Amino acid sequence: MKRLTVAGRLLITALVIGAIFVGYKYFGGQQALEKVAQEQKSEADVATTTTESSESSEAASTDNQATDSPKEVFSYAAPDPVDGKLKGVVELGASGFNSFIIKVDSQKRWKLEKSEFGNSLVTENMATDEDVRIGLKKYIGTMLDFGVGKKDIHFVVSSGAAKADVTKKITAALKSLGYVVNQVTAEQEGQLALKSVLPTEYASKAFVVDIGSGNTKISWIEGSGIKAIESYGAKYFQDGTEDKKVYDEVTAKSKQVPSGLRKTAFIIGGVPFEMAKEVRKDKERYTVLSAPAYYAKLTNAKSKAGVNIYKAVGDATGCQQFVFDWDANFTIGFLLTL
């Protein structure tokens, strides 16, 4: 190195530095490119995962909507009465006193003008004589104020409430006020429910279900008459009856519904009312109920029992369209027979 000139030493130094620079550019640049490539791949993987997750969530959401929402809208419109007359009825039911005022014409076309629902302790036999008198007077007064004539106010004891000892107390209170109490059997109640809820256009292609507190009635047109059968009501749990026992009996009885009538079922009653509230759109009169699984969120004992009955009817008949009528009631069917 000492023999080299200054110029030579400078030249060698320059070559070494250049070699170092070129190596750094090549190997360092290569690493940088690899690093960039890896980052881009990671970003792509994240984007793909996010997209797949989003698509999966959307699919799940769509599935839930298909399960949770009514399958279709029931577009039938009931005909309005022409020159109708006001009539009123008070239902003395297993879970309370309910009143209905309708306008009905000579062709039995009717329209609900006013309804009122109240809870009581009738079947629990905890309603006092005064409770009964006050409650009945309240309904009578409301109907008179609405314009219903005294002779056009009627009282009907449901088949479920008829099983309670307190029914005698109610009957006595009404007689003291000058009214007659009409008591119906479960079979009659099923027939009256059909008269109020089943449109003429569906007489040959549908059946009717009325899930009450004291019993459930299933009815349909058979020949020139109405066939009605009875099973457990939504308060069966109070007697310690097991869900499976109720499910099995309701299933067996529902299988009596003729196959040609199983496409559509019109349904009424306290628990169906609760189910319909969950899916009703605006103020529609007819609401198509969702599948039984949708109502697992109903937590009180009566509702759960009613859903068990609803599921049994659906499983036995294969019916996919249960239509709840917000206006119908078996006591309105009674008014239609007068």
* DSSP state at residue 213: S
Whose CA is closest to 209, among 199, 219, 200?
Answer: 219
127 lies in the same domain as 221: no
At residue 78, the pLDDT reads 93
Percent share of the chain, pLDDT over 70: 73
- Asked which of 158, 183, 208 is the last residue of a domain, the reply is 183
- Written as six digits, the tokens of 55 are 């698509």
Q: pTM of the predicted model, to two decimals?
A: 0.74
Residue 277 lies in a domain: yes
Torsion angle in degrees (nearest 10) through CA of 23, 24, 26, 31: 140
155 lies in the same domain as 266: no
324 lies in the same domain as 204: yes
Q: Are the beta carbons of 215 and 162 closer than 8 angstroms?
A: no
Residue 271 lies in a domain: yes
246 lies in the same domain as 124: no
- Written as six digits, the tokens of 39 are 């980052």
CATH number at 258 reads: 3.30.420.150
C-alpha–C-alpha distance, residues 336 and 111, integer Å: 11
159 lies in the same domain as 249: no
114 lies in the same domain as 212: no
305 lies in the same domain as 201: yes
pLDDT at 223 over 90: yes
Q: Are the beta carbons of 292 and 311 closer than 8 angstroms?
A: yes
Residue 293 lies in a domain: yes
What does the angle CA 223 – CA 190 – CA 285 come to, to the nearest 5 degrees?
Answer: 100
Query: Binning pLDDT at 50, 70 and 90, where does residue 33 land?
Result: very low
Residue 41 lies in a domain: no
Number of structural domains (the chain) is 2
Residue-wise pLDDT tens digits, 137-152: 888 899 999 999 999 9
Query: Binning pLDDT at 50, 70 and 90, where does residue 120 land?
Result: low
User: Residues in the chain, how many?
Assistant: 338
Range of the domain at 293: 193-329
Residue 63 lies in a domain: no
- Written as six digits, the tokens of 11 are 């030249």
Q: In what order do the strands lie in the sheet with 96-104?
A: 110-117, 96-104, 85-93, 153-157, 181-183
Residue 229 lies in a domain: yes
- Asked which of 160, 183, 206 is the last residue of a domain, the reply is 183
Q: Are the beta carbons of 86 and 143 closer than 8 angstroms?
A: no
137 lies in the same domain as 207: no
158 lies in the same domain as 239: no
Q: pLDDT averaged over the chain?
A: 82
96 lies in the same domain as 224: no
C-alpha–C-alpha distance, residues 233 and 254, integer Å: 14
Beta partners for residue 111, in sequence order: 103
pLDDT at 162 over 90: no
